[in-house]
Amino acid sequence: MRVIKASQLKKTYNPKGIAVEALKGVDLNIDKGEFTAIVGPSGSGKTTLLNIIGGLDRPSSGQIMVNNTDITSLTENKLIDFRKENIGFVFQAYNLIPVLTAKENVEFVMLLQGTSEKERNARTESLLKAVGLEDKIDKRPGELSGGQQQRVAVARALAPKPSFILADEPTANLDSQSTANLLDMMLALNKEEGVTFVFSTHDQRVIDRARRVVTLEDGLIVSDVTR
């Protein structure tokens, strides 16, 4: 089943009045259950592509279909609601709310969705157990290591049962062991539960584990390899 269909995406920025083409006409399809890395040098357009797929940015032209919905045509309010229901995000800076516990961070989006307390509690505990943090449920981000915070971020991204997870350089701030643990966990979620992951990354350890590697250069896809 196709969850993402990107067609002829172009994005031009105009810092200081100078046009910079970040994407120059990208076509990309992602099917359910993929574990895909989008790679390329700095400035190649990786993060821009991820942000547009996730509805965090809008293309200058082109179309993004997510679950057969054209998100490029949605109003800002409808796009926010659509993201909340369909797309999970994991960022390199974790972006956890520092005053909330691990449990409260994970259940936050479900609160916004109006999920019942009973269902929130059950899903939060299940997810924190899945990422190996059932014993850290009442810890705040400042009491957790970087790797543990990123695991909470993954659990939070999974909480609303999104169609896919977008992960922008999720291992950039982690040491080797934390990176290995995080990637093993993500692969297990992918294989056992069919969670779709799309990464933007420079990290060779992520690339080595990916089953599909899409390479961007100068705003264009120059290679797309499934292995």
* DSSP codes joined into one string, 189-211: HHHHH---EEEE---HHHHHH-S
User: With bands split at pLDDT 50, 70 and 90, how would you rate the model's confidence at 94?
Assistant: confident
User: With bands split at pLDDT 50, 70 and 90, how would you rate the model's confidence at 218?
Assistant: very high
Residue pLDDT, tens place only, 119-178:
999 999 998 988 889 999 999 999 999 999 988 999 999 888 888 999 998 888 888 888
Helix/strand/coil for 144:
coil
Fold annotation for 2-96+163-226: Rossmann fold (3.40.50)
The pLDDT assigned to 193 comes to: 83
Say if residues 3 and 32 touch (Cβ distance below 8 Å). Answer: yes
Residue of 130, 120, 170 lying closest to 150 (CA atoms): 170
Angle at 224 between CA 11 and CA 83, to 5 degrees: 50
CA distance 224 to 212: 7
Q: What are the extents of the domains in the chain?
A: 2-96+163-226
CA distance 122 to 170: 26
Residue pLDDT, tens place only, 24-74:
999 999 999 999 999 999 889 999 999 999 999 999 999 999 999 999 999
User: With bands split at pLDDT 50, 70 and 90, how would you rate the model's confidence at 91?
Assistant: confident
Helix/strand/coil for 42:
coil
